[in-house]
């Protein structure tokens, strides 16, 4: 039995990306539908409890994971501050097609057309 990767998608990532991930058959929890004002710490807590990878555009997750040593199941930080929804979607499609199996348990940052996985 294959366990499908599960995601918790932060508000800034956008509806189009959330909908596409769901359309690919993934289990997606959307922060915007739970509580759009949820704290980053609370997002990580839910993601850990439900074994979900967080997809976010919020750089504060780096602080939580590295400086505060918060446990996580995987974080994908998209550094796409001025990107349109379609540009974000293209990046996520590319990451999923090439690196999906590497995301769990790692802190990954996409910036300047490059994905760094730590």
Report if residue 73 sits inside a domain. Answer: yes
pLDDT at position 94:
97
Long-range (24+ apart) CB contacts under 8 A made by 14-18 are: 14/85, 14/88, 14/89, 15/85, 16/85, 16/86, 16/88, 16/89, 17/55, 17/85, 17/88, 17/89, 17/92
State the residue range of the domain holding 36: 6-117
Distance CA 50, CA 66 (A): 21
pLDDT of residue 4: 81
Q: Which neighbouring-strand residues pair with 56?
A: 77
Give the chain's length: 118
For residue 5, the 8-state DSSP code is: P
Low-confidence ranges of the chain (pLDDT < 70): 1-3
Q: 1 in a domain, yes or no?
A: no
Number of independent structural domains in the chain: 1
Instruction: Supply the CATH number for residue 94's domain.
Output: 3.40.50
């Amino acid at each position: 039995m294959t366990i499908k990767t599960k995601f918790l998608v932060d508000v800034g990532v956008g509806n189009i990306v959330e909908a596409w991930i769901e359309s690919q058959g993934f289990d997606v929890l959307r922060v915007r539908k739970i509580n759009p004002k949820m704290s980053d710490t609370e997002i990580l807590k839910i993601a850990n409890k439900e074994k979900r990878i967080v997809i976010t555009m919020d750089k504060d997750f780096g602080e939580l994971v590295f400086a505060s040593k918060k446990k996580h199941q995987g974080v994908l930080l998209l550094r796409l501050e001025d990107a349109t929804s379609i540009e974000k979607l293209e990046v996520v499609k590319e990451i999923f097609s090439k690196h999906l199996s590497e995301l769990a348990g790692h802190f990954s940052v996409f910036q300047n057309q490059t994905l760094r996985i730590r």
